[in-house]
A and B are shown apart, each in its own frame.
Chain A
């Protein structure tokens, strides 16, 4: 409880502390220009990302209490799935010739499904060592969310037109999850198979600014829609939902993954 309160206060404090600089930036943003942006450029305060993590596989089986059993792998197999997500960033602070800094939030969805194996005790005390598939479905639905601080080093782009923009994110992550079967939410000894897990969220990535490919179209897009840049990005994400010290027994539905997507700054 104390840990959660501390986290909330910390988030609030960081945002409030960064705000004055951000508004100071507002006044100057219209006059900002780069070597390649001598013409009009609309103000830039936000970014959104459409994200796709095609090789998502949660760390459920890393739970130490499982004693080496791998229930997730046994039920759903080793196959990875796609995690779809979206992110919204507020570029509160612009550091001249360096980049932007601000908070961002994201939500996503991933699901694993298969046929539940018939109940049987396998070798090594793990229920799922030997199993035969039944006609009953089972699934694990995961809804990740996170709140992070985002730093985008777009100084090279702004000043020199280099279209590569490295960035980093760090903050709190979490996920709602629900284990279901054919009849609905699964249940074990009165414990429903649903809850949430918390942890940390780290990411580093590299974006490629597509404006460089067609500057004219990019300017048109900016003038008409206010979109300053469109980027493709690749990101390595570590969503370690291990409780982060204040949640003792989370279902480890996070993991590390590669994420790809499109980002728009506006």
Chain B
């Protein structure tokens, strides 16, 4: 055994001498951190700064690994934490694939843990006594003993839900275990995605820790930070509508000085055809069909509106500016490094190590029941409507009321508010809330402890009328409606992860014909003609002639002046 280790170390040294420099260079620019000193090294494969990302198809909160789609190259915009984890990422069972190059390995195997403290400390991973809770939790199965080291990447698949399974908090005498089936289960979606009790972002680190046969960390681990935010800020407390000719002017008040707010989104049912904000006009705006006046000409400049993953993939095709979904082709099974081989040069599939998931070895943790946490969780929700696929009501327009408050199921049909809310409660179930001793103090039927109305709303993107990338409320005009029709409008807050918060109390308005100055003037038989009349009175076509006359005058004068000199 010792001879084998020495031989292995020698091979590694040679390997590192040939390829290590590139790996270390990569480590330096990676989002994560790896070994730069010592005898072993774990780093993302060369050329990578982040792991690959895979999501369930839109609208599916559970899916097997094979049906996940590669969204590595279609992330959120840079201002929305594209490498982090949002609520929609969690709902999509985000999978992070880490192709790791391991060299100089002198441990027994590698364990993968998550936490917001240093999980390389053995005490933070292992329960010292029944009175002590371990603050880190495993997020993947252990590899088997690593008897050989290759420059070919060793791929680890980490599911965000396993990382986000930080509730219940570490409890005395209870060790949170990793289960390969947790993430892809309705309970996993509930226990991981609906557990955040503050709308502020939460940061974790994923540790790939080389350990010896006694499960003690050896060498230097590789750490990759994962910023998460599963809860958006509360909505504006007050939304006001004012009618115009085929339009509604929307203003709202700030929900408070919540640092998590980065912007607002306006939604309407029926959808708006465009929007204007000050001098900026977004989208096309058809003229009025009901007004006796001809609608104003609207510029058709498209706004830089950021859209998010649509819940109903089929109905999202018309959403402007949306980050298109992932590649259609599902990812093939990751077993035996199939994916790595397709993504990286020199990655020999046969040389890759088995996937962690496929190697739920007989580590001591496996002896414990995974029902330890689940038995305590669950809440009382997730019963009635959870099975409807989670679709928002995209089709029927169900708007009631002729003004003031009203409702639209398309806008309010799917959302949850932490601490409950009068207008909308997520129907997929809640998450239990624990006290410091680990006792359940609430079944969490409405999402957990109160957070002044923070939560999540999921509205089909075609209902989005405008997105304001400013935390200061403004006045936005939604355009393109028909005069006389009732329109429901809600406003949501948006955070830095693109999470859409709960909707404001829906307000209804009806666009009506107006008399702006020009229409009023003409309606009162004013004689000025404007630009439409090309010949004669008031036409702009006369201006060049006048300008020409002035120019000729000036030129003639200058010419005369030069002549005199």
* Contact of B537 with A by CB under 8 A: yes
**Which residues on the B side are within 8 Å of A75 (C-beta)?**
515-517, 520
From B58-66, B140-148, B289-297, B347-355, the one touching the partner chain is: B289-297
* Contact of B521 with A by CB under 8 A: yes
Contact string against A for B residues 523-560, beta-carbon threshold 8 Å, 1 for contact and 0 otherwise: 11111111111001111101101101110110011001
From A115-123, A151-159, A201-209, A217-225, the one touching the partner chain is: A115-123
Tell me the interface secondary structure of chain B in the complex: mixed
Select from chain A the residue with minimum beta-carbon distance to B565. Answer: A23
**Which residues on the A side are within 8 Å of B530 (C-beta)?**
188, 191-195, 251
**Which residues on the A side are within 8 Å of B515 (C-beta)?**
75, 116-120, 127-128, 131
Q: Which of A15, A135, A190, A193 contacts B248 (CB 8 A)?
A: A135
* Contact of B500 with A by CB under 8 A: no
**Which residues on the B side are within 8 Å of A9 (C-beta)?**
549
Give the distance in Å from the alpha carbon of A136 to the alpha carbon of B542 in the complex.
32
* Contact of B249 with A by CB under 8 A: yes
Q: Which of B249, B294, B522, B539 contacts A182 (CB 8 A)?
A: B249
Q: Which of B235-285 contact A (CB under 8 A)?
A: 241-245, 247-249, 276, 281, 285
Name 26 interchain pairs, CB-CB below 8 A, sorted by A: A5-B549, A8-B549, A8-B552, A19-B557, A63-B527, A66-B525, A69-B524, A71-B521, A71-B526, A75-B520, A76-B517, A118-B513, A119-B512, A134-B512, A134-B514, A136-B247, A174-B546, A181-B296, A182-B296, A187-B296, A189-B293, A190-B294, A191-B533, A193-B518, A249-B529, A251-B538
Q: Which of A8, A174, A183 contacts B553 (CB 8 A)?
A: A8
Number of interface residues of A (CB under 8 A): 71
Q: Are B297 and A183 closer than 8 Å at their CB atoms?
A: yes
Q: Are A72 and B281 closer than 8 Å at their CB atoms?
A: no
* Contact of B519 with A by CB under 8 A: yes
**Which residues on the A side are within 8 Å of B528 (C-beta)?**
63, 195, 197, 249-252
Q: Which of B281, B298, B513, B531 contacts A192 (CB 8 A)?
A: B531
Given A196-B538, A197-B528, verify A186-B299 contact (CB < 8 Å): no
Q: Which of A76-135 contact B (CB under 8 A)?
A: 76, 105, 112, 115-120, 125-128, 131, 134-135
**Which residues on the A side are within 8 Å of B197 (C-beta)?**
none
Q: Are A138 and B517 closer than 8 Å at their CB atoms?
A: yes
The minimal Cβ–Cβ distance linking A138 to chain B, given in whole angstroms, is: 4
Q: Are A182 and B550 closer than 8 Å at their CB atoms?
A: no
**Which residues on the B side are within 8 Å of A212 (C-beta)?**
none
A16, A128, A179, most chain B CB atoms within 10 A: A179
Given A8-B546, A75-B517, A183-B285, verify A195-B296 contact (CB < 8 Å): no
Q: Are B517 and A23 closer than 8 Å at their CB atoms?
A: no
* Contact of B477 with A by CB under 8 A: yes
**Which residues on the A side are within 8 Å of B296 (C-beta)?**
180-187
**Which residues on the A side are within 8 Å of B557 (C-beta)?**
12, 15-16, 19
Give the distance in Å from the alpha carbon of A7 to the alpha carbon of B564 in the complex.
26
The minimal Cβ–Cβ distance linking B372 to chain A, given in whole angstroms, is: 57
A16, A23, A71, most chain B CB atoms within 10 A: A71
**Which residues on the A side are within 8 Å of B522 (C-beta)?**
188-189, 191
Select from chain B the residue with minimum beta-carbon distance to A247. Answer: B537
Q: Are A117 and B514 closer than 8 Å at their CB atoms?
A: yes
**Which residues on the A side are within 8 Å of B561 (C-beta)?**
19, 23
Give the distance in Å from the alpha carbon of A120 to the alpha carbon of B514 in the complex.
8
Q: Are B247 and A186 closer than 8 Å at their CB atoms?
A: no
Q: Are B538 and A197 closer than 8 Å at their CB atoms?
A: yes
The minimal Cβ–Cβ distance linking B59 to chain A, given in whole angstroms, is: 35
Q: Are A184 and B297 closer than 8 Å at their CB atoms?
A: yes
Given A65-B527, A182-B249, A249-B538, verify A134-B243 contact (CB < 8 Å): yes
Given A7-B549, A195-B539, A247-B537, verify A186-B519 contact (CB < 8 Å): yes
Q: Are A184 and B518 closer than 8 Å at their CB atoms?
A: no
* Contact of A34 with B by CB under 8 A: no
Q: Which of A112, A135, A247 contacts B249 (CB 8 A)?
A: A135
**Which residues on the B side are within 8 Å of A243 (C-beta)?**
537
* Contact of B505 with A by CB under 8 A: no
Q: Which of B479, B518, B545 contacts A4 (CB 8 A)?
A: B545
Q: Are A119 and B294 closer than 8 Å at their CB atoms?
A: no
The minimal Cβ–Cβ distance linking B282 to chain A, given in whole angstroms, is: 11
Q: Which of A20, A127, A174 contacts B520 (CB 8 A)?
A: A127
B276, B477, B530, B556, most chain A CB atoms within 10 A: B530
The minimal Cβ–Cβ distance linking B181 to chain A, given in whole angstroms, is: 53
Give the distance in Å from the alpha carbon of A120 to the alpha carbon of B516 in the complex.
12
Q: Which of A8, A65, A69, A191 contacts B532 (CB 8 A)?
A: A191
Given A65-B527, A74-B520, A119-B293, verify A181-B245 contact (CB < 8 Å): yes
Q: Are B524 and A71 closer than 8 Å at their CB atoms?
A: yes
Give the distance in Å from the alpha carbon of A174 to the alpha carbon of B549 in the complex.
14
Q: Which of B203-251 contact A (CB under 8 A)?
A: 241-245, 247-249
Select from chain A the residue with minimum beta-carbon distance to B539. Answer: A195
Give the distance in Å from the alpha carbon of A60 to the alpha carbon of B518 in the complex.
11
**Which residues on the B side are within 8 Å of A128 (C-beta)?**
515, 520, 524
The minimal Cβ–Cβ distance linking B234 to chain A, given in whole angstroms, is: 25
B296, B527, B549, B564, most chain A CB atoms within 10 A: B296
Select from chain B the residue with minimum beta-carbon distance to A147. Answer: B550
Give the distance in Å from the alpha carbon of A250 to the alpha carbon of B537 in the complex.
7
Q: Which of B512, B518, B545 contacts A186 (CB 8 A)?
A: B518
Q: Which of B292, B518, B545, B552 contacts A119 (CB 8 A)?
A: B292
